[in-house]
Chain A
Amino acid sequence: MADPVQFTGPHGPKPKTPFSRRNIMLYGTLIVVSLYYLVPLYVMIVTSLKGMPEIRMGNIFAPPMEITFEPWVKAWSQACTGLNCDGLSRGFWNSVQITIPSVLASIIIASVNGYALANWRFKGANVFFGILIFGAFIPYQVMIYPIVIMLREMGLYTKLGGLVIVHSIFGMPILTLLFRNYFASLPEELFKAARVDGARFWGIYFRIMLPMSMPIFVVAVILQVTGIWNDFLFGVIYAKPDSYPMTVQLNNIVNSVQGVKEYNVNMAATLLTGAVPLFIYFVSGKLFVRGVAAGAVKG
């Protein structure tokens, strides 16, 4: 560097303390709010590691005096529902088998819809879209019987395919909204360029649009995995006992009280059930925000 210059008066960056009032306020608020969000998780984890006697002593916030994994084992493989005493494990693979095709199908359908709505603007598109948005508000319960009848006619009732259709239908409104907004935000010229290059509807979709849509697909995957994995109503109504998802088992474990409520097992079961979506959140949080930004902001 050149020779040091002598300054009088303020120069360089304004001096700051790490504990300025602003920082205390800012981080203070964030930490306090974080507590509100974290306490339930803490309670769940702590409780799931305690034995029943300790729980009965009453302080749900106290850390376990003696850590036991018994409740986890029980929740996973021993808890009973009626006669079946194999805990959540029974439902886990069912959930996986339901979730994967349902997520795939619902996202594929919704993304194609969004693409058609955003780029091809056929007649009546907006009317369909309006109805779809309306559909987002229809309480699921109302649709149970009509859909039972529809699936019966299609021969898909209690089949995996039927469940996939149901999830696709109910995921469609919000996902279509997100995809439509996203595709509308991509430069229209790309679409035109591809048409000049002779690509047609599907060519453009697969070769041009899809590769550019990572962020919104991440959002869709997260939303759908969460929704479908956590679904109880459709799982229990449109599946059969041998294909019930994990949430049905969870509901059974939590709601079939045998003597005293085994809170520790309930909490362990709850955590186990939530593990998959939680895992997906933790690994893809950043992408999620980016994708939401892309899909939600552009009206």
Chain B
Amino acid sequence: TELEVTHWWTSGGEAAAVAELANAFNANTDHEWVDGAIAGSSGVARPIIISRIIGGEPMGATQLNHGRQAEELIEAGLLLDITDVAEANGWMDVVNPSNLLSACTVDGRVYCAPVNIHSTQWIWLSHDAFEKAGTAVPANWDEFVAAGPALREAGVVPLAMGQQQWQTNLAFGALAVALLPEASWRAVNVDKDASVAAGPDYTRVFEAFDDARKLAVGSNVNDWNMATNMVITGEAGAQIHGDWAQGEFAVAGQVAGEDYSCLPGLGFREVLDTGGDAFYFPVTDDEDIEAAQKELAALLLSPEVQVAFNLKKGSLPVRGDIDMSAANDCMQKGIEILNSGGVLPSADMAFTQDTITQIDELMTTFWNTPDMTVAEVQESYAKIIASAD
């Protein structure tokens, strides 16, 4: 059976990773992977995916960030219950951290297959750039801020940042995780406590964020991978970005530790949030397709596929029980943190997409409005947290 799979993985590293999934599916089952890639981020892809589902002509499987995005589709009975697959394959035991699976679970039923873990608390540093500036490669955020003037001096943009809204927000989230005590972080990002968001702990985060925006002046690129490319070529000193950035480094043939470094938690707190990608399977009334869907679901979490996929994608596997020794330096760091339990839930799970969009907007406004003060942005932020549901 042909199974159409939609996703928005179209950058170099991503496409290579998808190819692993497709090859495995074509090789290990009697079915065929029909690729439905749509470029241009989830904003473009999502209406298409949802239209297809509510229009009664769903694809076989689709990527969605798991978390609250799919809640309503599940409630409307549009997504396939794959609890039987999960049980048969013992997902409850192997998925690590376990909250990944709970994000797929509604009322005790499993509706999605998580495929990877993405964490966003990373800063990527170009060795080349720091060499030009004549400073050592920083070991944490503060050192990096201190090296800023030297980098400027050397004609290097200290911090690369793409213009898309979610990237600014991502940087903010990374700073928050790195700089906040865990309790404060949880108070805001899990319990939505606006008073903490308005408090002094958060003031420090916004101040750091203010530093970041000053360091990023002169970074005129749009896409995240363009920003990553600036780090790869040494045009920029660093980029705060998710772990998928290392896919780009890999495609460019760079070696972690030699050409570039990565600091999880910005070098302060070795914790990662555990968002990630998952595949959902829309309900069809075609039994063949349903069988194929379930086979795909099972395959996605199989150890071989997990290894192959995540190596290409630069993300962490969702199973703790597989051998990732082939992974590079940075990925190893991530696995260590995971294994040591330094795990936070991801924003995708805590906030609705609506709230995230609002925060995205706020951060972007702040980032691009030099007149906006730290106090102002913090106040607006607290307001959004207060109204989040």
Chain A partners chain B: yes
Partner-B contacts on A (CB < 8 A): 80-84, 144-145, 148-149, 151-152, 157-158, 236-238, 240-242, 248, 251-261
User: Is A241 a contact partner of B252 (Cβ separation < 8 A)?
Assistant: no
Minimum CB–CB distance for B135 against chain A, Å: 27
User: Is B55 a contact partner of A82 (Cβ separation < 8 A)?
Assistant: no
State whether the Cβ of B323 lies closer than 8 Å to any Cβ in chain A: no
Chain B: how many interface residues by the 8 Å CB criterion? 35
Minimum CB–CB distance for B383 against chain A, Å: 27
* Contact residues, B1-37 vs A (CB, 8 A): 4, 6-7, 9-12, 15, 18-19, 22, 33-37
State whether the Cβ of B96 lies closer than 8 Å to any Cβ in chain A: no
State whether the Cβ of B187 lies closer than 8 Å to any Cβ in chain A: no
**Complex Cα distance A229/B44, Å?**
19
**Complex Cα distance A80/B35, Å?**
11
12 A-B pairs in the complex with CB atoms less than 8 angstroms apart: A84-B37, A144-B47, A158-B52, A158-B57, A237-B48, A237-B51, A241-B4, A248-B38, A251-B40, A256-B10, A257-B12, A258-B251
State whether the Cβ of B154 lies closer than 8 Å to any Cβ in chain A: no
**Complex Cα distance A151/B57, Å?**
11
Partner of B15 from the list A240, A251, A256 (CB cut-off 8 Å) is: A256
**Complex Cα distance A76/B40, Å?**
20
State whether the Cβ of B223 lies closer than 8 Å to any Cβ in chain A: yes
Partner-A contacts on B (CB < 8 A): 4, 6-7, 9-12, 15, 18-19, 22, 33-40, 44, 47-48, 51-52, 54-57, 223, 225-226, 229, 248, 251-252
User: Is A258 a contact partner of B52 (Cβ separation < 8 A)?
Assistant: no
Interface of A is mostly: helix
What are the residues of chain A within 8 A of B251 when measuring CB–CB?
258-259
User: Is B12 a contact partner of A258 (Cβ separation < 8 A)?
Assistant: yes
**Complex Cα distance A76/B341, Å?**
49
Residue of B nearest to A155 (CB): B56
Top-5 shortest CB links A-B = A82-B37, A256-B10, A258-B12, A255-B39, A83-B35
Knowing A157-B56, A158-B57, A252-B10 touch, does A81 contact B39 (C-beta < 8 A)? yes
Known: A240-B4, A252-B37, A259-B229. 14 other contacts (CB 8 A): A82-B7, A145-B54, A149-B54, A237-B47, A237-B48, A242-B34, A256-B10, A256-B39, A258-B10, A258-B12, A258-B251, A259-B12, A259-B225, A261-B226
